[in-house]
A and B are shown apart, each in its own frame.
Chain A
Amino acid sequence: MDTGAWSVSDNENAVVTGELVAGGYRLPSQLDLTSARKLKDDIGSRLAAGAVVVDAGAVDRLSTPCVQVLVAAALAAASANVPFRIANASEVFRAAVVELGLETQFRNWMV
């Protein structure tokens, strides 16, 4: 996947350019323990809205609590037939996913 093809909006609710669909949620660069609750809230509201697209291009720190939130959200979306995509994943993001043994699962959700 060519991550360089993506441009990221500054506004988390803005429409991003390129192939990213409208309503993309840009993940903060620091997805540590303290970010997990806000991440859950933010993604929860998008789940309720019927589509979740997150932009992971800016992530340069990813923690297990946030990974758990993303996995649970993806599974919830799948069971509710809600589209769930993670776009533009940074190297840090993808490395963390592999290191935690979740590569197979995330492959389904990353575009």
Chain B
Amino acid sequence: MMSEGEAYPLEQFRKTYFEECAELLDVLQANLELLAAGAGSEETLHAIFRAVHSIKGGAGAFGFSSLVAFSHVFESLLDALREQKVDATPDVTQLLLRASDALADIVNAARSERALPIDFASDILTGMEEALAGASGATAAASATSGIEPVAAHAAVKGERSYRVVFTPHTEMLQKANEPLLLVRQLRKLGGLTVDVDMSRLPAFEVLEPEAAYLSWTFVLETGAPQSAIHEVFEFVEDDCDLLIEPLQQAAEAVSAAPTANATEAAPAVAAAAEPSATVAPTPSQSIRVDVDKVDRLVNLVGELVITQAMLTEQGSLLPVDQYPAMIQGIEALAQSARELQESVMAIRAQPVKSVFARMPRVVRDLAATLGKEVKIVTSGEMTEIDKTVIEQLNDPLTHMIRNALDHGIESPDDRVAAGKPRQGTIHLSAAQRSGRIVIEVSDDGRGLNREKVLAKARDRGLVAPGVNPSEEEIDNLIFLPAFSTADVVSNISGRGVGMDVVKRNVQALGGRISVQSRFGAGSRFTMSLPLTLAVVDGMVVSVGKETFIVPLTAIIESLRPQPADINPVVGRGDVLALRGEYLPLTYLHSSFAIESAVTDPCQGIVIIVQTEGAGRIGVVVDELLGQQQVVVKSLEANYDAVDGISGATILGNGRVALILDVARLREIGDKPGMRMTKPARETTSEVREDMNHAA
């Protein structure tokens, strides 16, 4: 019988294995953190053990011998901890954390088929072996001197593998003259067998139905025979029982890849009969693994559907209600369903930020050790969900912010003590959803920004003109300027002057904002505000001449029609708008994008005040506001070509393409005519429309 698993390409197995490894490493890390914080329970230890055990299992299947060897010693130590042969002292916990980091490195090396130094993590291995040697009776279990020995060496010598067989007869199985005893005897012929019976289904004697099957069994078979031979034993009863057959060292793979049809069917039996170490099987039917490409395709399709629905709605609005009531009602219902469908699909792609947060403790640990600092990281709001597209790009800016906090923020232990602070510094990392955006904060209790030093450096570099006295907030935000660094010594960590400006650019590329608040001597807080998704944007539809643009709603502060007296020309800088005592530079969209027959006088059109990251608040002059709308973002790069000042495109209800403004770039484009679009907007939009229609 050709099983589903055998038909599965090996490469797919491998990919799935590494995907699972990433999740297992996150679980491992999160639970180790709990353990280190003294908040762990017995289940925490079980979860840690299961994660390492599962990683080892798959590694064995793919022949990653160094991964198996390392995780075996790791697992042995965890087992000794579970059995309380080793105490979870702070030293041991730190060792486990380091082992977890090393395991992640070995997994990464295996994934990228990169060789690690022969002595990689040898100090950690030695530490774990010593901890094991200290545990009475644990030595034999660990075989610590040659980690892989009990599993792989045994298998290599005897050519045997261990399988776990969970056999749960259906009630009527015995009535069909199927006798479990005969199956057990056939299994015995294949190799060494241990039998564990489960009597939990056995009813009281009075109600027992003599011919019904109540007992079930878990067998562990060590055999040189192939797995198919075990299946053959159960060939005649497989329709009358739940059956799970899995290689003991391949539990994770067996579960995820469903190597046999029976294994899938047997999931409930596993959950019922499994011992803690074997509960690597996820709760059945709670989740499925789906290729991200499939979800992305679904998101795109739903995007198309929403666009079509918007077109229908617009057409429907032209129909007389009294003549087409059912049609109009249908269009309204469609709009509602389309919106719900879109939200549901986006929810599929949403993930907790935990996957990114979980990597940060290691960053802190590694860096603290390098810098000789004592730092702990406290996280909160890890379960806040955000679109996968955003999560994927969150790691770099977040890592850099944490590094920056450690390098520049947290003082050395002696300096902290001298300043009356605890030796150990604290970095708080938090996430929360606010007003349809996710806000991530990185705060530290370090020295804070030295504004005098920052300002002096900025003046020195000509970033702040002599005689100008920026506000405290403005001084703090100088650190986001390119090539700005206050580090006295350029270190490996940060201070190369390619730090916070890069972070800011990354965050802006995600449609986000970043700011810093700091108190000298008390610490700093960096706040990132990011959109929940990059696939949909709430926008203001505006017209300029015959063109339509979308201004992201999150950037808009207000819009107004100014009086002529409010507009003042500034030589060499263009016009500024006087607004409540402030002067805001104006950017004319018709000028930026060379659009003809547009309103050129701001007093005849509308000025939208937007917040930009680089140039503060500016006024964008458009002809008129057409309304607010949620639009599906289509990549301009993928469908046409990158255009400066434009972040994407969308298709409106009338079928026309509208370009989405990259507000952060507008001022710069306005200031530098050489960076303007080389083609007029009308040409661009018509070409984009054509290209996007072809692409669709």
Contact = CB atoms under 8 A, between A and B. Distances in A.
B320 to A, nearest CB: 76
Contact of B177 (A33, A75, A96): A33
B215 interface: yes
B197 A64 contact: no
Interface stretch (A3-11, A22-30, A36-44): A36-44
Interface string B174-192: 1101011100110010000
Interface in B602-640: none
Interface in B205-240: 205-206, 208, 210-215, 217
A69 interface: yes
A102 B197 contact: yes
A72 B195 contact: no
Contact of B208 (A63, A64, A68): A68
Given A68-B202, A101-B217, A39 B210 contact: yes
Nearest to B204: A76
Contacts of A99: 181, 184-185, 188, 195
Interface in A74-97: 75-76, 96
A72 B174 contact: no
B696 interface: no
Size range of the chain A interface in the assembly:
20 to 34
B203 interface: yes
B180 A64 contact: yes
B197 A68 contact: no
Contacts of A101: 195-197, 217
B199 interface: yes
Contacts of A64: 174, 179-181, 213, 215
Interface in B146-180: 174-175, 177, 179-180
B206 A76 contact: yes
A53 interface: no
Contacts of A102: 197
Contacts of B180: 64, 100
Nearest to B174: A65
B174 A69 contact: no
A14 interface: no
Nearest to A79: B204
A76 B202 CA distance: 11
A100 B197 CA distance: 7
Contacts of B203: 72
A20 interface: no
A72 B207 CA distance: 10
Contact of B205 (A37, A47, A67, A100): A47
Contacts of A73: 205
Contacts of B208: 40, 68-69, 72
Contacts of A72: 202-205, 208
A5 B179 CA distance: 32
A65 B184 CA distance: 15
B195 A68 contact: no
Contacts of B195: 99-101
Contacts of B206: 44, 76
A63 B214 contact: no
Contacts of A65: 174, 210-213
B215 A68 contact: yes
A72 B213 CA distance: 12
Given A65-B210, A65-B211, A69-B210, A96 B181 contact: yes
B205 A36 contact: no
Nearest to A64: B180
Interface string A97-108: 001111001000
Contacts of B179: 33, 63-64
B199 A71 contact: yes
Given A39-B210, A68-B214, A71-B199, A63 B181 contact: yes
Contacts of A36: 210-211
Interface string A54-71: 000000001111011101
Contacts of A69: 205, 208, 210
Contact of B215 (A33, A37, A47, A100): A100
B179 to A, nearest CB: 6
A60 B217 CA distance: 23
A63 B212 CA distance: 12
A91 to B, nearest CB: 14
A96 B185 CA distance: 10
Nearest to B210: A36
B98 to A, nearest CB: 41
A67 B188 CA distance: 20
A63 to B, nearest CB: 6
Nearest to A34: B211
A76 B205 CA distance: 6
Contacts of B175: 33
Contacts of A39: 210
Contacts of A76: 204-206
A100 B180 CA distance: 8
A75 B199 CA distance: 11
Most buried by B among A63, A68, A99: A68
Nearest to B203: A72
A52 B691 CA distance: 88
Contacts of A47: 205
Nearest to A39: B210
17 contacts: A33-B179, A36-B211, A39-B210, A63-B181, A64-B174, A64-B179, A64-B180, A65-B174, A68-B208, A69-B205, A69-B208, A75-B205, A76-B204, A100-B181, A100-B215, A101-B196, A105-B199
Interface of A: 33, 36-37, 39-40, 44, 47, 62-65, 67-69, 71-73, 75-76, 96, 99-102, 105
Given A40-B208, A71-B215, A75-B202, 19 more contacts: A33-B177, A33-B179, A37-B210, A40-B210, A44-B205, A63-B181, A64-B180, A64-B215, A65-B174, A65-B210, A65-B212, A68-B208, A76-B205, A99-B185, A99-B188, A100-B180, A101-B217, A102-B197, A105-B199
